[in-house]
A = this chain, B = another copy of it.
Amino acid sequence: MASKRGTVRVDSKDLGIGLVGTGFMGRAHANAWRQAPCFFDLKRRPQLRCVAGKDVKEAKAFAARWEVASVHPTWQALVRDSSVKLVDVCTPNHLHAAMSIAALKAGKAVACEKPLATSLAEARVMCDAARVSKAKTFVWFNYRRCPAIGLARQLVSEGKLGTIRHARACYLQDWGGSATPMAWRFDASRAGSGAHGDLNAHLIDLVRFTTGEQIAEVCGAMEATFVRSRRDGAKHTKSTVDDATLFLARLSSGATASFEATRLATGNQNANRLELNGTKGSVRFDFERMNELEWWDDTLPKRLRGWSRILCTDPSHPWAGAYWPAAHLIGYEHGFVSMAADIVRVLTGEKPILPLADFEDAFVTQCVLHAVMVSAHEQRWVRPDSFA
């Protein structure tokens, strides 16, 4: 295992990863690739080989911290690196398409951050590229890997909730007040949209993932931009995105669904919440207490019915057994670690613990994002599948 000079050998069985982007998501992904093989039994060990970022100096510091062997001067160079089997795209949204398509053309698998793209048109091109290349694609809908969300999906698919009547999803954050300076996330040309693409993308994916249903129709939507201009160094720049987007929808089963994404919900720091009500039971989830799933079993005698707070840390819960003994909580980063492990499983011919989203699947979510914007702007109901 150890060479004379105390080095760690690069095993030919390793799976080379190249990472583009060294911001918040870059860190989360670097950590995930590093940690996945320590906790999961994988056929090949993922190895973060190289990074590229918009600033080479920053990328070098990043590489030193995360023990990444090389830094490429450009993302194009990284995409050409023959040791790279999967390109991990963690850049601002408007760069997803070019990078992913180049990587696919170079025959690499691609794991791209969400939302897939800044627009439906871009997303469509990415999907087409994926179809042509036949390489595996993945989109980082990390909350799918939360054990509580995985359990919710299992309960629904086992019929424990009966027929779903209502889905209630909101992702409430509060970091977007007027004191927060300009950033790419407030610029529509780079982000596509604001809270909508950032947070509703997660909610739409989670409702689809947990219920197995589609968003059949958007029945009303509204956007709001409260902070119209933001400090940007010495000057002020216009914010061109929504601070909040809400919409109503009907699922394919006829269930009602409501969605709200906002960055101005004071006191809700990361409240990614989902509730499903069915004819036999209900579940609810709040990412601020991410280790817990609340479950209501309506088949119990009335005297014993209650919301049960399940700590989803038991080996019987998806992904949880890979980490610590029951009730030794996991955190935000573990969703990425579990997802990295599932990606490796797929790339080595195994099945993921629960399904992952690929470009095609993320395109369906993108259609919903688009339908909501049309609904809000034209003040009418819209069917997402009319864009498919």
Please, what's the 1-or-0 string for A305-335, where 1 marks a CB less than 8 Å from any CB in chain B?
Answer: 1111111011011000001111111111110
Task: Say if the beta carbon of A168 comes within 8 Å of chain B.
Answer: yes
Please, what's the 1-or-0 string for A298-309, where 1 marks a CB less than 8 Å from any CB in chain B?
Answer: 100111111111
Q: Contact partner of A327 among B7, B68, B288, B324, CB < 8 A? A: B288
Stretch at the interface among A180-188, A248-256, A349-357, A360-368: A248-256
CA of A308 to CA of B288, assembled, Å: 15
Stretch at the interface among A99-107, A206-214, A273-281: A273-281
Please, what's the 1-or-0 string for A186-216, where 1 marks a CB less than 8 Å from any CB in chain B?
Answer: 0000000000000000000000000000000
Residue on B nearest A334 in the bound complex, by CB:
B331
Nearest Cβ on chain B to A211's Cβ, whole angstroms: 14
Task: Say if the beta carbon of A52 comes within 8 Å of chain B.
Answer: no
Residues from chain B with a CB closer than 8 A to the CB of A170 are: 168
CA of A13 to CA of B93, assembled, Å: 39
Task: Say if the beta carbon of A379 comes within 8 Å of chain B.
Answer: yes
Give the contacts of A245-301 with B (CB-CB under 8 A).
246-248, 250, 254-256, 258, 260, 262, 264-270, 277-282, 287-291, 293-296, 298, 301
Stretch at the interface among A111-119, A129-137, A220-228, A338-346: A220-228
Residues from chain B with a CB closer than 8 A to the CB of A69 are: 1-2, 6, 8
Task: Say if the beta carbon of A387 comes within 8 Å of chain B.
Answer: no
Size bin of chain A's contact surface: 35 or more
CA of A68 to CA of B110, assembled, Å: 30
CA of A124 to CA of B41, assembled, Å: 43
Does B266 contact A151, Cβ atoms closer than 8 Å? no
Residue on B nearest A293 in the bound complex, by CB:
B306
Task: Say if the beta carbon of A49 comes within 8 Å of chain B.
Answer: yes
CA of A189 to CA of B323, assembled, Å: 30
**Are A222 and B219 also in contact (CB < 8 A) when A5-B10, A168-B170 are?**
yes
Residues from chain B with a CB closer than 8 A to the CB of A266 are: 161, 165, 277-282, 296, 298
Residues from chain B with a CB closer than 8 A to the CB of A309 are: 306-309
Residue on B nearest A6 in the bound complex, by CB:
B10
Task: Say if the beta carbon of A232 comes within 8 Å of chain B.
Answer: no
Q: Contact partner of A1 among B63, B296, B329, CB < 8 A? A: B63
**Are A290 and B226 also in contact (CB < 8 A) when A165-B265, A380-B379 are?**
no
Give the contacts of A136-190 with B (CB-CB under 8 A).
151, 161, 165-166, 168, 170, 172-175, 177-178
15 additional A-B pairs beyond A244-B256, A329-B331, beta carbons within 8 Å, are A6-B10, A7-B9, A35-B35, A165-B244, A175-B326, A224-B254, A224-B255, A256-B260, A264-B277, A270-B326, A302-B316, A305-B308, A324-B331, A328-B331, A331-B334
A-B contact pairs, 10 of them (CB 8 A): A38-B65, A165-B264, A165-B265, A166-B262, A226-B254, A267-B298, A269-B311, A287-B329, A306-B308, A329-B331
